[in-house]
Structure 1
C-alpha cells in the first residue's frame, strides 16, 4: 500500500502535525511519501526528509500553493493519487479546506478526524462532540483521510529520504488570493502549545479577559485559549476558540478559568495531559474531566496563583 502524507507547514518551518500524521500513516503498513506543497519551501522538504519512515518527499511549488488555495491543492493531489492508495493530512483548518475537494474529485467518501487506524480500511473517529467513538470501514479504492494529530505521537527524526521536485498544477482559473491578515504574537501557537490558559464567559468583558488571562499566560509561557461563549461575546478573537468548532488542543497543561465545560468545549481539550479548572460553581461539568479542580472565584484564585508563581520563580 502506498500512502501520501500532505505536510503541514508555513513555507519555512515544518510543523509537528506532519510527524504525527506520518505516525498515523505507518498504521496503514505501506510506503510513505510526503508532499510539501508551497512556495520557497525547500527547507521544509529537507526537514520532511529527515522524518523516520518516509520513503520520498515530493516538492511542488507555486504562488497558489504557497497561499494555500484549496483549488490548487486539489489540482495537484488528485492526479498524484494514481500512484497512491491513501492520502492523509492533519485535520487543521487548511487540511479541512482542501481534503473534501480531493475526495470529491476522486469520487470517494472522506474519512474525517481519525483518532485510530485499525487497519488499511478500518478507522475510528469521534462523533457527538467526542462523546462517542465510531468505527468506520471504507471499501473505496482510494482513501482520503484527515487525522486528529493530538492523539498520535510524533514520528522520530533520523530518516534520509530523497527529495524530488514535481511540477505544480496550473493556476486556478476562477480563484485568486487577495489578502490575509495575520495575528502576530510572542506566545506559542495555540494548537501546538505545551501549556494553554483559557478563559470563559465568566470574564464578563474583553478588558477583564485580557487583565486576567494574558498575564498568567505570559507568566507560564503559555498560549491563550477561550470558550465559544467567550468568543461569541467578543471577549476573545475567533482564533482563540477551543472546542468542536474551534481548535482541538492536547497540551501538557490546560488551565480553564471561568469555563463551565460545555460539551462543545470539552471536545476540544479533554485529551490534555493535565487539566486544571477554576470555577466558583462546584457542579460545573468541567470538574468531571479536570485532574485538579478549585471551586473559587477566579478574581481571588488567579491573583493567588500569580503570587505563588512569582514566589516560586525567585
Structure 2
C-alpha cells in the first residue's frame, strides 16, 4: 500500500496527530513527518546547510527508533500505537528556525514518491503549509475536511461548508491529494495492531534567503491557535474592561482551553485581533464554547456556530447568544465566573475514588 504522509504538530497537538493517523490508516500506510530527531539520531550542525544522502528509502538514512522525536507530537511508541510505520525526521536546523518553510520543503521532497495523500491539521500553520505544498506539487487541495474514506479513485473527503450547514463529498482529480483536516471532529482510535515505526532521517538544504526571512519575526509571541482548540472561553463587551477580561483568561486556563474575544473586545484592545471570533476573524469549531458577556451579534454567531456545546453567561435575558446556547446563565459575569472558578478548584481538590 502507498504511504500516507501525516504532518505532525507541536507537543500540545498530540491529539491532532493521532486523529490524522486514524484517518490515514483508511487510505494506506501511515508515515509521520515530524521535526528534528533526538536521542542519538543524526542532527545537522547549526548554520550548516545539509544535503540529501542516499542509502535509504526516499533518499534518506534510517536510524533506530528513539524514545521521542523533537518537534513531534508524542513518543514514537504512541505514534506506533496509532499505526505509524515510518517517522520522517529532518536534520536541518531550519526545521525549528523556519518551521513552515521547512515542513513545506520536506513534504514536497517526500511527495516525489507518490504517497496516497498528505494530511495536515487545519490550524493556521497547517493551512498555509497545505496550500503551499499543493501549489508546489500542482495538486488538488481540500480544506475543512471532517472525515475521509478510501474511494476507487483515491481519497473521498467529507467537507463541512457554509458554516457547518452542509456536508459535501469531494475528491482530488490531479496530483497528490492534500487534505487540511479539522481534527476536532475526528474520533481517534488506536490501530488494531500497534506498529514499531522506523525513523528515517531526511536532510534538507535551504538557500540563505529562507534563513533571512525568518529573522524578522522569530521572537514574535504567538497565541495558541483557536482553529483547532477543543475548549474556547470568549469574552465580550460585558466583561467591562481589560482587567475584567482577565476572568476570561483565568477560566480558559482552568479548563485547559484557549481565550478569545468578540469584535467589541478586540476593538477595545482587551485582546489581540488574532483572538477575535466572528465571520471576519477566526471561525472556530470547539467541543466546548463559553461566551462571557457576549450578546451574540450575527457576525459573532457566524464565527462560533460550529461549536459542539455552547455555554453563555450574560446579564441580558434577551441576548441573541441564548438562542444558540445549550446552557445559559443570566447574571453578571463578574459574579458568576468567580463562583465557577471556585467550583472547578473545589472539584479538582476532591480525592479520586478507586474502583474495587
- Give TM-score, length-normalised by structure 1: 0.81
- Shift in CA distance, 125/260, structure 1 to aligned 2, threshold 3 Å: farther
CA distance in 1 between counterparts of 2:277 and 2:20 reads 21
Segments of 5+ residues of structure 1 without an aligned counterpart are: none
- Give TM-score, length-normalised by structure 2: 0.72
- Shift in CA distance, 264/15, structure 1 to aligned 2, threshold 3 Å: farther
- Shift in CA distance, 171/219, structure 1 to aligned 2, threshold 3 Å: closer
CA distance in 2 between counterparts of 1:221 and 1:21 reads 22
CA distance in 2 between counterparts of 1:112 and 1:180 reads 29
In structure 2, what is the equivalent of residue 174 of structure 1? 209
Match of 2:142 among 106, 111, 116: 111
In structure 1, what is the equivalent of residue 237 of structure 2? 201
Larger Cα Rg: Structure 1 or Structure 2? 2
SS in 2 for 1:54: coil
SS in 2 for 1:33: strand
Q: Shift of residue 80 of structure 1?
A: 1.3
In structure 1, what is the equivalent of residue 282 of structure 2? 246
- Does the aligned pair in 2 maintain the 1:33–1:54 contact within 8 Å? yes
Q: Does 1:134 align with 2:168?
A: yes
After superposing the two structures, state which structure 1 stretch, 129-138 or 198-207, moved more: 129-138
Q: Does 1:37 align with 2:35?
A: yes
SS in 1 for 2:173: coil
SS in 2 for 1:89: strand
- Does the aligned pair in 2 maintain the 1:85–1:141 contact within 8 Å? no
- Does the aligned pair in 2 maintain the 1:88–1:144 contact within 8 Å? yes
Match of 1:224 among 259, 282, 299: 259
The 5 Å alignment of 1:69-148 reads: 69-83=99-113, 84-119=115-150, 120-148=154-182
In structure 1, what is the equivalent of residue 97 of structure 2? 67
- Does the aligned pair in 1 maintain the 2:122–2:228 contact within 8 Å? no
CA distance in 1 between counterparts of 2:94 and 2:156 reads 34
Segments of 5+ residues of structure 2 without an aligned counterpart are: 40-65, 351-356
CA distance in 1 between counterparts of 2:343 and 2:101 reads 52
Q: Shift of residue 99 of structure 1?
A: 1.5
Q: Does 1:257 align with 2:300?
A: no
Q: Shift of residue 4 of structure 1?
A: 0.7
